[in-house]
């Protein structure tokens, strides 16, 4: 492990912890309470450390690392609020859309740098991802919400078609394995609604890490 990867692992650990503690307070809980650290804290801390370490191992340009580091931070906060209250706040999902589009237009998006027709790829993924998710949700009777659709637009614009597809496939396979384990453990059933939020966020992170 290089010093940069180690430093980013520590940074990701801190971002994951901050995201969890933020989600424990915001958006305000109906009972007015603040959730204590629990399994969600562990998931975000470990996941944050792993994501940022992989980010530093995959990318080396300081500017690209800065952009993707902020991007990962936003996704970790969304993961935290989704795990805590099953919410994807508009305060994060909506700004992500114009910011991602602006990065593409200014040729500053690391995920589409050097690609042919980056704007076309971004727009196709930005419009196509939520459309496909909506159809799948109707077929599978999932728990797709408006926040999921808004997030899918931002992820699509940021990632482009190829990366988003690769990230979603990887995240979906991993999620399927987790779901099978939960079914075997009788924690959920085949009729349980499966939330899309965690899969979307994992797909967005993996899209930035695939070759």
pLDDT in tens, 61-106: 999 999 999 999 999 999 999 989 989 999 999 999 999 999 999 9
Which is more confidently placed, 96 or 114? 96
pLDDT digits (tens, 9 = 90+) for 117-149: 999 999 999 999 999 888 877 776 667 789 999
DSSP states of 93-148: HHHHHHHHHHHHHTT--GGGTT-SSHHHHHHHHHHHHHHHHHHHHHHHT----HHH
Q: How far are the Cα atoms of 66, 85, 134, 179 from residue 141, in angstroms, in the given order? A: 38, 20, 10, 15
Q: Could you tell me the two tokens for 35? A: 């959730």
Name the least confident of 105-109, 156-160, 168-172, 198-202.
Answer: 168-172
pLDDT digits (tens, 9 = 90+) for 24-64: 999 988 888 899 999 999 999 999 999 999 999 999 999 99
Burial of 45 (0-12, 13-18, 19+ CB in 10 A): buried
Percent of residues, the chain, with pLDDT higher than 90: 68
| Secondary structure element (H or E) that encloses residue 82, with its range | helix 62-85
Angstrom distance (rounded) from CA 130 to CA 137: 10
Residue pointed to by tokens 């603040």 = 34
Angstrom distance (rounded) from CA 51 to CA 42: 14
142 with 195: CB under 8 angstroms? yes
Full-model pTM: 0.92
């Amino acid at each position: 492990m290089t010093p940069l990867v180690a430093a980013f692992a520590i940074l990701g650990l801190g971002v994951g912890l901050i995201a969890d503690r933020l989600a424990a307070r915001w958006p305000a809980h109906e009972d007015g309470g603040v959730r204590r650290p629990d399994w969600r804290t562990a998931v975000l801390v470990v996941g944050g450390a792993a994501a940022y370490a992989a980010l530093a191992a995959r990318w080396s340009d300081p500017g690209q690392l800065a952009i993707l580091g902020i991007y990962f931070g936003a996704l970790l906060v969304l993961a935290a609020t989704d795990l805590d209250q099953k919410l994807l706040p508009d305060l994060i999902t909506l700004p992500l859309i114009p910011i991602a589009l602006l990065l593409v237009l200014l040729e500053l998006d690391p995920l589409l740098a050097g690609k042919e027709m980056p704007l076309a790829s971004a727009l196709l993924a930005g419009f196509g991802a939520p459309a496909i998710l909506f159809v799948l949700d109707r077929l599978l009777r999932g728990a797709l919400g408006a926040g999921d659709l808004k997030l899918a637009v931002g992820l699509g614009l940021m990632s482009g078609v190829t990366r988003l597809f690769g990230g979603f496939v990887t995240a979906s396979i991993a999620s399927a394995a987790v779901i099978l384990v939960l079914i075997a453990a009788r924690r959920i059933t085949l009729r349980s609604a499966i939330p899309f939020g965690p899969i979307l966020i994992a797909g967005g992170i993996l899209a930035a890490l695939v070759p």
